[in-house]
Amino acid sequence: MRVMRPIARLAEFALALGILVILWHLLSVRVANATLLPSPLAVALAWVELLRTDLPADIAASLVHLGVGYGAGAALGLALAILCARSAVADAIVDPAMELLRPIGAIAWIPIAIVFFGIGRGVPMFLIFYASAFPIFVNTLAGVREVDRNLIAAARMLGASPRLVVTHVVLPAAMPLVLAGARLSLGVAWAAMVAAELTGADAGLGWRIFWYQEFFAMDKVMAVILTIGVFGYLLDLALRRLQAALTRWSADTRAEAA
Amino acid sequence: MATLTTPKIEARSVSKIYVSARTGDKVEALRGVSFSMKPGEFVSIVGPSGCGKSTLLSLIAGFATPSAGEVLFDGKPIDGPDPARGVMFQDYALFPWRTVRGNVEFGPMARGVDKTRRAAIVARNIEMVGLAGFEDRYPHELSGGMRQRCALARLLANEPDMWLMDEPLAAVDLQTRVILQDELLRLWGDAGDPAQRRAVLFVTHGIDEAVYLSDRVIVLGRRPGQVKEIVDIDLPRPRIGARTAPRAAALIDHIWNLIRAEAAQAIVEEP
Amino acid sequence: MTLPLRIKAPLIFFPALLLSWECAVWLAGAAKIMPYPSGVALAAIRDIADGTLIDAIAGSLRRVITGFAVAALLGVPLGLLMGLVEPVRRALDPIVDSLRAIAPIAWIPLALLWLGIRGNAALFIVAYAAFFPFVLNTIQAVRLIDRKLVDAARALGASPLLVLRAVVVPGAVPTVMTGARIAMAFAWGSIIAAEMAIGIKVNPGGAATVGLGQLMVSTLYVKRDINGLVLYMLSIGLVSLAIDHGVRAFQRKATPWQR
């Protein structure tokens, strides 16, 4: 019974996917124009070819953008949140500053980033950095602030030092929100990355889309788009797993993972 | 054809087995439960956690069907919910997007009562439970006790033949609970003509509450839920104002002794 | 006079920051390559006076609203279907998830090819971005409906149709509205991205500045006006704040029973 479930689930997915592919195929036959709408087979072949040629370098470039930008952005968001939680002066300045900047989405920074960094890898890195800082900042601050006072009091009553209270009470209690923020960050960072690569970079998956468009190689364009989808999905899945593993005790996470 | 001798509710060897949709595991919630209720009788169900009290109530409400046996209402098998059997839920299940008036009005509206008569019914019932002046409040703007009264008014507005109440007082503080118990008895007709009373099936954790309110108390055992004993509460009515009769204390002790071992077991086993 | 720290600190810090920024740019003689506060203010006066800014914002907003409406019309019914019919949800979930993982802007070459540069390609990107919040939140909304409220309505004599109308729909509204708020934010973010991408790849000359994104591209590549770029950036932020306030106000009005 328990073994059957995932298989049945996979079968349902395969069926839905199959129907989608067949519809796509029929539509492409009807359109009969490989530039306007390449058939699924053409896209699959293009994908296989790209995997042997350009795609690995593009994926690597995008992952470097993401690693540098997201790492720096998450670190900054986390650091600022902890600073705000500890210092009233910092909170009074940083919090409104973040609230002012937050509505200006990462995308809006593209032209300025192009002015300062020039077309190249600085633009996507900066955009990812900017996009990922906010959700982590907001969620971490909320997580730290919403820690149940009674839990802190209980730890103090049991003889915990302030340091132990932070490492063993405040951080674990804030963890579900921090990780939720990390997932949100990754989502917006991924979208910002593609936009930045499309408009202001000379490497990466987003850049490659327009590269092939110049040649009207729409089968390859679509193969790159699908790659973006697959990697976006896998990254989110990885963070979701991490989230479930690190916050086993939280009823919320369990409900969401189920 | 319901006559004076037809029981209001008759449960005949009722069993209920739940099958978990996810794991396929089976849980036997009730086994061979039989009892009957006379019209106008106030019957409570008590038992330790996991004895199937709420399951039994939902079978009678018509939200679920028995796996074996049958439940009769006025001599007819129950199939589905019926406004004649009003239900009051544990956490009231008030519609959060409807005001007090909107909640009370829902039953008459659902039964197709016209607007002017509806307004009169609503006003009368809101008045009766003491919520006059709060008609336009949303549930989240009410205290626990007021929500409970609103749920009661919603129940009464449909003029049901019997009241099914699932731990209706569990969510309010102790003093409010005492006050609401008296109010419930008053609305039911504790001091009035027994022929005017509605049948009440009252599920509760509180043995003292069950003894104070009821004509009879059904004591259920757990895993699977089955009838241990049906205790006659031979205390005189009206009872409002007479909470501490020595006889009541003896009945409470008796019931507690029936379930204490299983209640202790339930603490360890509950997830 | 003693002001609370939360007011006093920003009141000192931000003007000081702007002032020292202004001074630093002039002292370094970097006014050609760095934006500075007074320059941005002048750009604002200029662009508001000649209508450039308002026209561009209006152009972008028009497409945002159309795309948002299309997304709602397609996303809510699909969400309802997936929320109510379990096998449909299980089958479509991974497909929706993987399509959602494709950054909307990645579709721009195909959208351009299919729909042309006259604005419909941007519209497609906006609708795509706004579609998923509607689907996901509608699914969630249907699944979160309190089973007990359905039982309560049935016990009070409600027909299945009344249960749908008086319990399921109002019960779903708040979550769908939250989805609408996210969808609106996504839509606004992606219209700018789409217009910029179209501007850069198709029309860098900026002859037809039909939206804020195109305006930014022509300002970047033709006018090379860095203060203008900062102004447009701030405008994007202001509009998104205004949009969010608007949607929130509507949400409060539409669901007065919410805390």
Q: Where are the domains of chain A?
A: 45-257
Confidence of residue A258 (pLDDT cuts 50, 70, 90): very low
Mean pLDDT of the region C113-133: 85
Count the Cβ atoms, other than its own, within 10 Å of residue A41. 12
Between these two residues, C7 and B66, which has the higher pLDDT value? B66
Report pLDDT for B271.
54
Task: Say which range, A215-219, B75-79, C117-121, C155-159, has the weakest mean pLDDT.
Answer: C117-121
Question: Tokens 């008459």 correspond to what residue?
Answer: B108
Q: Reduce the secondary structure of A69-94 to three states and give it as a string.
A: HHHHHHHHHHHHHHHHHHCHHHHHHH
What integer best gives the mean pLDDT of chain C? 86
Mean pLDDT of the region B222-234: 84
Tokens of C148: 């007990």
Q: What are the residue boundaries of the structural domains of chain B, listed by start?
A: 39-64+79-84+161-271, 90-159
Mean pLDDT of the region C202-220: 72
CA R_g for chain A = 23
Q: Residue C211: is its pLDDT beyond 70?
A: yes
- CA A151 to chain centroid, in Å, comes to 32
Do C101 and A190 make contact, defined as CB atoms within 8 angstroms? yes
Burial of C110 (0-12, 13-18, 19+ CB in 10 A): buried
Mean pLDDT of the region B17-45: 84
| Strand-strand pairing, B42-46 and B76-77 | unpaired
Report pLDDT for A63.
93
Nearest to C148 by CA among A77, B90, B103, B200: B90
Chain A residues within 8 A of B24 when measuring between CB atoms: 1
Chain B residues within 8 A of A1 when measuring between CB atoms: 23-24
What integer best gives the mean pLDDT of chain B? 85
Confidence of residue A218 (pLDDT cuts 50, 70, 90): confident
* B198 in Cβ contact with B163 (< 8 Å): yes
Quick one: closest CA in B to A4, which residue?
A: B23
Between these two residues, B10 and B245, which has the higher pLDDT value? B10
Chain C residues within 8 A of A107 when measuring between CB atoms: 189-190, 192-193, 196, 236
Starting at the edge strand found earlier in the chain, the sheet holding B9-19 runs B26-37, B9-19, B68-73, B76-77
CATH (residue range C36-254): 1.10.3720.10
Report pLDDT for A5.
64
Euclidean distance between CA atoms B197 and B188, whole angstroms: 6
Mean pLDDT of the region B130-152: 88
Confidence of residue B235 (pLDDT cuts 50, 70, 90): confident
Q: Residue A1: is its pLDDT beyond 60?
A: no
Looking at the complex, does the CB of residue B23 fall below 8 Å from at least one CB of chain A? yes
Task: Say which range, B164-178, C120-134, C229-243, has the weakest mean pLDDT.
Answer: B164-178
Partner residue facing C192 (CB), from A12, A107, A229: A107
Between these two residues, B265 and B184, which has the higher pLDDT value? B184
Nearest to C155 by CA among A178, B39, B154, B171: B154
Q: Residue C206: is its pLDDT beyond 60?
A: no
Q: Residue C210: is its pLDDT beyond 80?
A: no
Confidence of residue A257 (pLDDT cuts 50, 70, 90): very low
Q: Report A:206-235 residues touching C (Cβ under 8 A).
A: 206, 209-210, 212-213, 218, 221-222, 224-226, 228-233
Euclidean distance between CA atoms C183 and C76, whole angstroms: 12
Mean pLDDT of the region C221-231: 87
Q: Residue C205: is its pLDDT beyond 60?
A: no
Q: C104: helix, coil or strand?
A: helix
Q: Residue B194: is its pLDDT beyond 90?
A: no
Q: Report C:195-224 residues touching B (Cβ under 8 A).
A: none
CATH (residue range B39-64+79-84+161-271): 3.40.50.300
Report pLDDT for B250.
82
Q: Residue C204: is its pLDDT beyond 60?
A: no
Mean pLDDT of the region C110-136: 86
Between these two residues, B135 and C94, which has the higher pLDDT value? B135
Between these two residues, B147 and C94, which has the higher pLDDT value? B147
Tokens of B225: 């839920």
Report pLDDT for C72.
94
Q: What are the residue boundaries of the structural domains of chain C, listed by start?
A: 36-254
Euclidean distance between CA atoms B74 and B65, whole angstroms: 17
pLDDT in tens, C90-122: 888 878 887 888 888 888 888 888 887 666 888
Do C156 and B86 make contact, defined as CB atoms within 8 angstroms? yes
pLDDT in tens, C37-68: 888 999 999 989 988 889 889 988 988 999 99
Chains with ≥3 CB–CB distances under 8 Å to A: B, C
Confidence of residue B270 (pLDDT cuts 50, 70, 90): low
Confidence of residue C89 (pLDDT cuts 50, 70, 90): confident
Q: How far is A222 from chain C (nearest CA, A)?
A: 8
Looking at the complex, does the CB of residue C157 fall below 8 Å from at least one CB of chain B? yes
Q: Report C:74-113 residues touching A (Cβ under 8 A).
A: 87, 90-95, 97-110, 112-113
Question: Tokens 């004591």 correspond to what residue?
Answer: B219
Chain A residues within 8 A of B23 when measuring between CB atoms: 1-2
Confidence of residue B162 (pLDDT cuts 50, 70, 90): very high
Report pLDDT for A45.
92
Q: Reduce the secondary structure of A234-254 to three states and give it as a string.
A: HHHHHHHHHHHHHCCCCHHHH
Q: Residue A103: is its pLDDT beyond 50?
A: yes
Euclidean distance between CA atoms C226 and C21, whole angstroms: 15
CATH number for A45-257: choose from 1.10.3720.10, 3.40.190.10, 3.40.1390.30, 3.30.565.10: 1.10.3720.10
What integer best gives the mean pLDDT of chain A? 84
Alpha helices in chain A (DSSP H): 4-31, 40-52, 55-86, 88-101, 110-117, 122-145, 149-157, 162-165, 171-200, 205-214, 218-246, 251-257
Report pLDDT for C127.
94
Q: Residue B1: is its pLDDT beyond 60?
A: no
